[in-house]
Amino acid sequence: MVTIIKQLAGLINDAHDSLNSIIRIFFPSMNDKDMHFWIIGIFGIIFYFVVNMAFKRLAKLSVELISLVYTVTVLLVVVFAIEIQQKITNRGAMEFEDIVAGMKGFLVLFTVYGLFKLAIYGIKLIISRYFPKTEEQ
């Protein structure tokens, strides 16, 4: 896990340095905070449009899909934060397997929930098909 984070940090640092060098050529007066303002701002707005488009399509299918995507995203942030906190405080081993185990736990419990919900839907469908409601006047 530490190796993966160090490799990702190295890639991000290399990209930052390369981008900083390019920006200095075209905008010599731009400082690091200005660069972060523009790059994160541009990335953020593009990411927003992509996510918004995807969520609109998901919303046509089911709001529950949006809830699932959001929950998985937040859980990933939380489990990574927990592992990083363990490394910083030396209160546990920082391992990628812990993240995978935590996410598997959620996916197993969500699958149980989904199967339960599917069973309820199936029962309601059978009841409505074989015992239709009659209108009383």
Q: Which residues of 65-81 are buried (b: 16+ CB within 10 A; e: fewer)?
A: eeeeeeeeeebeeebbe
Under the banding of pLDDT at 50, 70 and 90, the label for residue 111 is very high
Is residue 136 over pLDDT 80? Answer: no
Q: Is 79 helix (H, G, I), strand (E, B) or coil?
A: helix
Is residue 45 over pLDDT 90? Answer: yes
Looking at the chain, the whole-number percentage of residues with pLDDT higher than 90 is: 38
One-letter amino acid at 20 equals N
Q: What is the pLDDT of residue 84?
A: 84
Runs of H (alpha helix) within 27-62: 32-61
Q: What is the pLDDT of residue 1?
A: 65
Cα dihedral 59, 46, 106, 60, rounded to 10, equals: 10
Alpha-carbon distance 51 to 53, whole Å?
5
Q: What is the pLDDT of residue 118?
A: 95
**83 burial type by CB count under 10 A (0-12 exposed, 13-18 middle, 19+ buried):** buried
Are 92 and 86 spatial neighbours (Cβ–Cβ below 8 Å)?
A: yes
Is residue 54 over pLDDT 70? Answer: yes
User: What are the domain boundaries of the chain?
Assistant: 1-61, 75-137
Is residue 137 over pLDDT 70? Answer: no
Q: What is the pLDDT of residue 24?
A: 85
Q: What is the pLDDT of residue 83?
A: 85
